[in-house]
Every structure is written in structure tokens, then in C-alpha cells.
Amino acid sequence: MNQAARRLGVFGAIVGASYAGDQASGHIPSRAGRVAYAGIATYVDFKLHVPMRPEEKEHGENNVVDPNMTLYKEELKKFNLRTANRLLDLCLANGGVFTKMGQQIASMNHGLPIEYTSTLSQLQDQALPVSSEIAKAAVAKELKQPVEVVFREFDDKPLAAASLAQVHRAVTVDGQEVAVKIQYPQLAVQMGSDIWSVKQAIRAMNYTWDIDMSWLLPELEAALDAELDFVAEKENSRKIAHLFQKNEFVYIPKVLDEYSTKRILTMEFMHGAKITDINAIKKMNLDPVAVAKHISSLFAEMLFCSGFVHCDPHPGNLFVRKHPTLPNEAQVILLDHGLYRQLDDEFRVTFCKLWKGLLLRDNDIIDDCSTKFGIRRYASVLPLIFTYRGMHSNNKLAGQISKEDREAIMKDLKSFERSNVNEFLETLPRDMLFVLRSTNLTRSLNKDLGGTSRLRFHVFGKYAVKGLVQDHNRSKGQDQMTWGEYFRFQYEYLNLKSRLRLIDAAMGLYQRYHGIEVSGDKLVG
């Protein structure tokens, strides 16, 4: 009995020491253990439940579907969903770097199966906050004063919890309502080991499934370094505010220097509705479609003109309020300025030309731009990615797809599927990955708010032309267009709209002449 008690005591001591060690080290062992468990479980799941991919057969005259390929695709979808849920649980449990990684994966809906992007999109709103005691202790440590001395009020419950920080409402001693962004205290300790764990997981993926995602790591590490420096975020917010100073439909909250450090950021508190809360927007007597246009204009201005692009574009970072001086108008509030990317100027100009080529159906321009991007072999994919239209489409702008165009698109997608999708993502210019995130968000929000595809395309075309017209002016270090450039821009934009109308009219005549049946224009998207 004594021996059993001693063994139990030794076991308890080992467990206690392990727990204490885990606590003291910032939970590094337990976090790494979760990664290992998820990896092993996924590997075993794949080996036991996903059959080998059969040789794909060409369809015969009767268009008979290969049952083996159908079974394989069904099992692969089930496996992808189980893996995505396993990854979601891991990201929620570990938080921090893993939540950020999951958000990055969720944004890659241009190259990853929907099971992953849809499941992991939940991470935008499900990060786990630290307790109010820990948050207040972090604020006191950074500001070198008790919270009660600095703030008259400080809400215990956070307004939002993101991957790397959480936000609390507070009121300063002089009565100003503010939002206090607090970096999670243990991030600095955990980041090195978390990055190491992610590297090992990526190596295991490469070994097991021959999928090389190592190109994602430098981007992830750079993003984390940038977002952990709130001084840099403060400078980003001031730069973007300067760039949009003449756009009265966009507002950037001001930062309070005296209440901010490298790990604490205090800004003016903003009252408004989340960009996806359509009912709240309507209750303010604001038009959601007008809001959609402001969103498209906001990101188009960044992508095509300044090249200074917000790189964490999700609905939680966008709010809407009534314009302070124009009560019938909406004003978009842009939050979270921790991660921006300054696009290479040559890339930005080429992207402007690409959109002009996409809208005008000019395949020579598209080919030339894809060559400059270093992705000439994937030129036919670019219209699909940005406009959901084939390279040689005969549809009107933003119109429904005809049967023959649908078949052509399926042929292009099949050809693309046979190539290495990961190779395509790895070949893309790094700037393009951030551009794709912004355009995907704009498309999604435009649809949710009831904006039309035609409206979004016209907005992007407008700013693509503006970006080309102002290019030589930017080279002189000037932010604003001269009067001569402004009139040239208006002329070029009017010319673009006229050509788009002519092309649509020509496409309509072509479809009627050849008896191509197409339903009405798409309303949203």
C-alpha cells in the first residue's frame, strides 16, 4: 500500500512538474504537442480513409463518369473537411501565430479547396481573449502606471479578440472615449517555438503529400514581425489617413501617442455597424449598395493608385457610420493597420494595365501583363480569377455565362487542375498574393451588400485608369494629381466606359446572331 502510494506520489509529482514547466515556458511543450497530435492524426486518417487517386479517363461519347474517380473525390472532400476541422481546433487551442496562420489559409480561396477556406474563415471571429486581469496588467506594465490612474473607465470584457491582440473600450482621465488594443503578453515567448512547429508541419506535408507550402513561411514571419510592432502600426495608420485625407467617405481613427507603446495602442473609439450587418446599416437609413461602392473604391484606390495595401482585409476591420457632416451618406471606418504592403511600383502599373485588358477583352494586354508577372503559362487563368470569365469569352461584362463559354471555362479549369496549383501560387509575384486577398474581400462584401458585378468592375476600371494616368506624377514624389492629369484621367475614364458599352453591345449582337441563349445579367457578385 505504501509502495502504491509512493508510485502515485511520484506520478503526481511528475505531472505537477510538467504542468509547472509548461506554465513557466509559456505553454510551449503543450502547444507543440497539439501540433504533433494533429499531424499524426491527419497522416493516419489519410492512409486509412483516402483511396489512391485512380488514373483519370477521358469521357467517351456517352459521357460516362468513372465511378472510381467519383468515389475518390468524395472521400477526398470528406478528408479535407476532417483535416480542416482538426486544423481549426488546433488554431483555436493554440491561438496567436496559429490563428494568424489559419486566417492566411482561409484567405487563399483562389487556390485551396473550399473545405479549408470555409472552415478556417471562422477564425476571423473566434480568437480566444485573455482575462481582463492579464490585459490590465499588460497595460499597467507598458504605461508604467496602474490602469485606474490612466483611465477613468476600462471595460473588463473585450470588444474584439484577434489573433495577436484584443481590444477594450476605455475612457481616459480627461473624458475621451478610446479603444485600447493590447498585445497578448506571451506572444513574444511563444512565437519562436510556434514558427518552428509550423515549419515541421509544412515539412511533413511536403514529405507525405508532396505539397510544398514552404513559400508561405517568409510571408507569415514578415507579417508577424510587422504586426507585433504597434509603433509601426501607428505610422501605418497615419500614412493611410494622409493618403485618404481628401476622400470624405473613408475615415481612419486617430492614435493617442501618450497612451501607446510598442505593445499597447490607444485610438479614438468609433461607433458604427460592422460592414456585414446589413440590418444595422439600413437602420441608420444608409444604402448598403452605396456602402459597397465605397468599399470597392477604398480598396481599388490602394491597389491601383497608392500601392499601399491593407493586408489584413476581413469584415472585422471594416465598420460603417453616418457621415458626420453628410447625414444621408455612409462613411467607411478602416481599422487595424498592423500589416500593410507597399506594392512594387512596376507591379502596380502592370496590374493597372491587366485590369484594363480584362475589361476591354484585350488578350494581347493580358498576355503581356502575365509575361511581366512571370506567369505567362497561366495567362488564361487570370480572367477566371478576377472576372469569372474565360480568356475568349463572348459574354457581356458581368453577364451570365453562356453554355459555350461555360464549356470553355471548364476546359481551362481542367487544364489548370492537371497542373500543379501549388506551383501556380509559388510562381505568383509575392505582391499578387496580397492583391488577391483584397480583391476577394471586395468581391465578397460587394455581394453581401447587394452591389452589382458591373458596378465593381467599373470602379476597378476607373481606378486602374487613374493609377496609369498619375504614374509619372508619383515618380516625382507627389501624392495628388495635377489639374492636367485630373482632366486626362476624366477623359481616359470616359473613353473606357464608352468602349465597355460598345463591347457589351457587340457581344449582345454576337449572341443573338449565333443563337446563343444567355439569361439576364447577374445582379450581384
The Cα–Cα gap between 508 and 474 comes to 40
Cell representation of residue 187: 506572444
Q: What is the pLDDT of residues 180-235, one digit of tens each?
A: 999 988 777 777 777 877 777 777 666 665 566 666 677 777 777 777 889 999 99
pLDDT reading at 411 higher than 50: yes
Residues 285 and 156 occupy one common structural domain = no
361: pLDDT confidence band, cut at 50, 70 and 90?
confident
How many domains is the chain built from? Answer: 3
Q: Which of 438, 449, 440, 442 is nearest to 523 (CA)?
A: 449
- Clarify whether residues 303 and 320 are in a common domain: yes
* Alpha helix segments (H runs only) across 262-402: 278-283, 288-300, 345-359, 363-373, 381-387
Same-domain check for residues 62 and 141: no
Residue recorded with cell 489573433: 163
State the pairing for strand pair 250-251/330-334: parallel
364 and 450 housed in the same domain: yes
pTM of the entire predicted model: 0.77
Mean pLDDT for 364-375 is 93
User: Do 174 and 82 reside in the same domain of the chain?
Assistant: no
Element (H, E) at 310: strand 308-310
Task: Please report the pLDDT score of residue 373 as a whole number.
Answer: 93
What band does 392 get if pLDDT is binned at 50, 70 and 90? low
- In contact, 172 and 178? CB cutoff 8 Å: yes
> Does 167 share its domain with 80?
no
CATH of the domain at 260: 3.30.200
Question: Nearest 5°: phi and psi at 112?
Answer: -115, 155
Q: Label residue 397 by pLDDT band (50, 70, 90).
A: low
Residue 502: which residues within 8 A CB-CB, separation 6 or more? none
Q: Are residues 375 and 463 in the same domain?
A: yes
- At residue 462, the pLDDT reads 93
Are the C-beta atoms of 162 and 73 separated by less than 8 Å? no
Residues 136-149, mean pLDDT to the nearest whole number: 94
Do 115 and 170 share a domain, yes or no? no
Please state, for a pLDDT cut of 70, what percent of the chain lies above it: 76
CA gap 170, 189 in Å, rounded: 28
Q: Are 370 and 378 in contact (CB under 8 A)?
A: yes
Residue 259 and residue 303 in one domain: no
Q: Are residues 89 and 141 in the same domain?
A: no
In a domain, 487, yes or no: yes
Of 257-271, 305-319, 320-334, where does mean pLDDT reach its minimum?
A: 305-319
Q: Which three cell numbers stand for residue 48?
A: 486509412
Q: What is the pLDDT of residue 37?
A: 86
Q: Is residue 136 part of a domain?
A: yes
The burial of 87, by beta-carbon neighbours within 10 Å (0-12 exposed, 13-18 middle, 19 or more buried), is given as: buried
String of b and e for 30-64 (b: at least 16 CB within 10 Å)? bbbebbeebbeebeeeeeeeeeeeeeeeeeeeeee
- Catalytic positions, please? 312
Between 15 and 249, residue with greater pLDDT: 249
Range of 44's domain?
A: 18-124
Distance, in Å, from the CA atom of 274 to the CA atom of 290, rounded to the nearest integer, reads 15
Q: Are residues 36 and 164 in the same domain?
A: no
Q: Is the pLDDT of residue 420 over 90?
A: no
